[in-house]
Every structure is written in structure tokens, then in C-alpha cells.
Structure 1
Amino acid sequence: MEDMGVISTNKNKITLFYNSENSIGKQCYGYVQASDKEVLGIDISKTNITGTQWAELAEKLEIPVKQLIDTEHPDFVKLYGDKAIDMEAHDWIKILDKNPKLVQFPVLVFGENYYQLTSGAEFKKYLEANSAGIEKK
């Protein structure tokens, strides 16, 4: 049964899938922690994300799994070369499973919305959009 998501969503909770070993991940986590929402930070460098969760993140972001991966990351290039690779989604999921640090950007889950954050400051824009009309503390 694939119709029910495995990632829990809640309009008052923010979930951030991030890598504490890179600067964008650290910045985004700092911004999220500073919000007045309940935060669940999932550090992908320390927590195993299942293939089903990776697939769901890509599906909710409306991107192929491949686009979760930084194919220009030095570790990716070392392992797979710098030529474009054409693989099935399950093969990209295997790469993420073995090398979660190859995730390109943190993924923010806020209510029913999913976003890839390219910077810490970008989080503020989504927070404001989702909180429109709600007074901040």
C-alpha cells in the first residue's frame, strides 16, 4: 500500500532532513531551530533514511530521486566519474543509502509542503509564507 506516506506531517511541526557535515545543512538547521515551531531535525549523516523515505521526499518535491544528489560532489565524482549517468530511481536510492552526504540540499517538510533549501535564509521565506496571517511569538 503506497498511498499513505511514511513521513509524518503536521502544520505546527517542521521536519528538516539535513547534513550537519556541510555548511548549508548547518545554516538551515540553525534557522529552523530559531523558529517558534516544533522542530524535528534529522541529520542524515547520523540517521539512516530508508529507501521509501528517499522516494517519498523526491515524490513530494516533484523531482526525480537523482535530483536529490549532488553529482558534482567530489565523493560522487570519485565513485562514479564526472560523466552523466542514467540509472533507475532504485539505483539512485542505493547511492543515497550508501552515501547520504551526497544529498544536494536539505529538505524541509512544513505541514503538507516539501521544499529543498539552497540556503539558510531561504527557510525564512517558507516560514513566512506558511505563517501568513498567524502572529509570531
Structure 2
Amino acid sequence: MGVISTDKNKITLFYNSESSIGKQCYGYVQASDKEVLGVDISKTNITGTQWAELAEKLGIPVKELIDVKHADFVKLYGDKDIVMEDHDWMKILDKNPTLVQFPVLVFGENYYQLTSGADFKKYLEANSAGIDKK
């Protein structure tokens, strides 16, 4: 059992309200007819356990949650490829949550990274039809 609550009638969106894609995705999610929990990572502290669960459910390493090409990341850590353990990447997320690459949608038991606001619609339709569209 994970620490992130899941429900087939509820949508949880982990997003950054300071990014255009975050604002756009949140707008799409708010327009749905489902109950919505928006978690603005620029204002809400996400625990290391939650970051680890998001990455695990997405099937990616924690590093891939981070936009390593983001100007703030490059300023802090340089533009060379960095090799670290997941717990080190979680420390970066803890100190700089706005470096998250894409919003993460939790809908039912499914987890998705939204690369655009329009992504939400295809996942909502697939999930409503009972299709796992990963």
C-alpha cells in the first residue's frame, strides 16, 4: 500500500503552478467532472517517500522526474550528466521542487506524466473506458 491515496472517482494532480504546463494541466483537470485534488509542488512539501512512489508507479528512476535542462538546475548543478542514487535526486526535489519536469496525474490506480494539457483528455477517456494507456 502506497502513501498516495488513489480512488477511481478522484483525480490527483502533482503540478507546479509557476510553470505554464502546470497551469495548463491544472486547468484541464479542474474542467473534468471528477473530484480533484491539486497538489501544487511549489507551495506544498512532497516527502521523499511520495517522490519515490510517484517515480515507481510511473516506472521511471527518480532522476527522470527532474528537468536537468532547466536553467535553475544547470545554474545549481551544471550541465554535465550527473550520476547519483535515487535518495540524492530526492534531496534535489526536496530543495527545488519546481525542477519537476512534468505534472503527474494520479487517476484510479494509474499514474501518468502529462507533457501537455491535452494529454489529460486522452488519459481521462482511456481510464473511463477501462483501458490502461501507459
CA distance in 1, matches of 2:2, 2:41: 19
Match of 1:114 among 82, 94, 111: 111
SS at match of 2:112: strand
- Report what 1:39 is aligned to: 36
Supply the RMSD in Å over aligned alpha carbons: 0.7
CA distance in 1, matches of 2:24, 2:96: 21
CA distance in 1, matches of 2:104, 2:51: 10
- Report what 2:79 is aligned to: 82
SS at match of 1:94: helix
Q: Tell me, which stretches of 5 or more residues in structure 2 are unaligned?
A: none
TM-score norm. by structure 1 comes to 0.94
CA distance in 2, matches of 1:62, 1:34: 28
Match of 2:52 among 55, 58, 83: 55
Q: Tell me, which stretches of 5 or more residues in structure 1 are unaligned?
A: none
**What letter matches 2:48 in structure 1?**
G
How far residue 90 of structure 1 moved from its aligned partner, in angstroms, is 0.1
CA distance in 2, matches of 1:61, 1:127: 16
Are 2:29 and 1:23 aligned?
A: no
Deviations, residues 96-135 of structure 1 (Å, cap 9, x unaligned): 00000000000000000000000000100000001128xx
CA distance in 1, matches of 2:28, 2:129: 18
Are 2:101 and 1:100 aligned?
A: no
Match of 2:88 among 79, 86, 91: 91
**What letter matches 1:79 in structure 2?**
L
Structure number with larger C-alpha Rg: 1
User: Aligned residues: percent identity?
Assistant: 89
